[in-house]
Structure formats: structure tokens, C-alpha cells
Amino acid sequence: MSDWTELGDRCWVRRYREWDVNVGLVVGSAGALVVDTRATTAQAVEVLAEIAELTDAPVRWVVNTHAHFDHTFGNATFTEAATYAQENAAAALAERGPALQEHYRDNPGPDLAFPEIPPELLAEVAATELVAIDNTFAVAKVIDLGDRRVELLHLGSGHTDGDVLVVVPDVDVYFVGDLVEESAAPSYGDDSYPLEWPDTIDRVIGLLSATAKVVPGHGAVVDAEFVRAQAEDLGTVANTISGLHHAGTTLEQALAHTDWPWPIAHLEQAVRRGYEVLGVPRRPTLPLLGPG
């Protein structure tokens, strides 16, 4: 879809057509760090070749922003690199990755979730070698690239429970994975945390300067103002779910609610996940009348 876009000194992003996913590259005196690796072996081989056209630095580190296949399944191709992910993401990749591959093997036709993706590409996803993450962390990790550092931060749950913010401090660049999306609404899957997401993104916003460059998991590079605007919509979703539940609205009724920032078809999992956390709503009760 695009060539490498330089975001600052030796820091780039490349946007790929399939799943409209972004791959980051940060180069230091000791080697290169890659942020996310795409969805198949062939796609990861392509990334490596395109990195080689840009720099002679060996890829020594791979960081996954979260566990989903379009960001992680290419890991095995980076044989000379150590892989890093938040501990929940590493566990989710080990558990859910093979299950997704089995699903695509058993269902070779078009995927309703990705109708634009040809079945033969999904077959490649199913056939890609998966490897375990080498290095995990709970909250924070610093990777020394020689003459610069990259910070990995887990600020809470949102898109998943293993979302990682990849910060390149010297150029004010933030790779935020799918905590933010530009080319579509934020994605609420069956492993999302809609009620916690607003607080997590608020913590991200607290780190951003007015000139910060924010790389979403999908879509064009954005700024802090874009993130603040999307955070308002994420907050509206969480508050609406909580409000409906507090009012005694059933799950079925909540799914029929229409006043959302995005179409309800996109938010069904958000409502279901929110109600899972909040439990069965109580019937609303009238306040007792006082004396007199």
C-alpha cells in the first residue's frame, strides 16, 4: 500500500494493504527493532526484504503490540531476533493462535469478519509456523538499541488484555497497536475490555505531547488530538453499556439500543463483554416514599 514513511531519525512505519496493518521499524547502533510482523510467512519474508532495502542493520528485536494474528503470525520468520510481548499477549498467542489456524483449515471459505480477504490468504494464515514469545513482561520493559532506547509499556486492558505501547522517546513516536485505529472504528472482539479501554487510552494520552506522532495498528499516522477524540467515543461506549445495565436493561434490549458512536453491528461484542463483567442486571426499583 505504501513505502516506508520516516517518522523521525531512523524510525519508520510501513502500511500494508492486507488487513491495512502497520509495521514499525526502529534502528539503533546495535541493530533494528520491528514492531509487529504481519499475518503469514510470506508477508513476513516481504517485510524482511523491504527492511534490507532500507538499512543494513540486522533485525535483533521483534515486539508484538498484542496477540492477534495479523500482528504476530510472521514472528517465526525473524529467526535472528528476540521476540517481546506482554505476558497476557504471549499466553493468548499460544492458546488462540493454533485455534484460529484450525478454524481456517476447517472453514476454508471467505471469513465473514474479513470478507475482503481471499480464501487462499486465509489458508496461508492457517499454514504459517507459530513460535512462542521469547521474552515477556508485566508492565514495562526497556530495550537498548545501542545509542537509543525503546520503551514497552502495558497501561491496562482495552483491545485485549495484553496491549503494548511501543515508545521511541528521542523522536516522540508511539506505536499503539489496536488501542487506536484510524482507518476503521476501534475493534471490539471477544477478548476486548470495553469498560476498561477508556481508562487505558487516557493513560496513553497522558504521555502524548502536542507534537507526538501516534502509529495506530491500522491506518494512517495520527496525532494526540485524534487520540483524544477517539477516546471520547470509547468512553461513550463504556458509559452507555454501564448506564443501560444500571437501568435494568437486559442484554437483548441493550443490543437493540441505537444511540452509539458506531453501528451496533460493530459493537455487539462490546455490549456482550460489558454485560459479562457487570452480570445480570437487576430490575430497577422505585425509591421508597418518605413519611407524609
Per-residue pLDDT of the chain (292 residues; tens, 9 = 90+): 579 999 999 999 999 999 999 999 999 999 999 999 999 999 999 999 999 999 999 999 999 999 999 999 999 999 999 999 999 999 999 999 999 999 999 988 777 778 888 999 999 999 999 999 999 999 999 999 999 999 999 999 999 999 999 999 999 999 999 999 999 999 999 999 999 999 999 999 999 999 999 999 999 999 999 999 999 999 999 999 999 999 999 999 999 999 999 999 999 999 999 999 999 998 765 554 545 4
For residue 187 the three cell numbers come to: 475493534
Q: How would you classify the pairing of strands 213-216 and 11-15?
A: unpaired
pLDDT of residue 240: 98
Residues present in the chain in total: 292
For residue 92, which of 159, 181, 180 has the smallest C-alpha distance? 159
Which residue is listed with cell 484460529? 100
Cα 144 to the center of its chain, rounded Å: 23
Question: In this structure, which amino acid lies at residue 118?
Answer: P
For 55, counting Cβ atoms within 10 Å of its Cβ (0-12 exposed, 13-18 middle, 19+ buried), the class is middle
User: Hey, which residues does 8 pair with through a beta bridge?
Assistant: 11
Superfamily grouping for domain 5-224: Ribonuclease Z/Hydroxyacylglutathione hydrolase-like (3.60.15.10)
Domain ranges of the chain: 5-224
User: How far is 21 from 187, CA to CA, in rounded Å?
Assistant: 13
Which residue is listed with cell 441505537? 258
**Phi, psi dihedral angles at 170 (to 5 degrees):** -70, -15
* 75, 68 Cβ separation under 8 angstroms: no
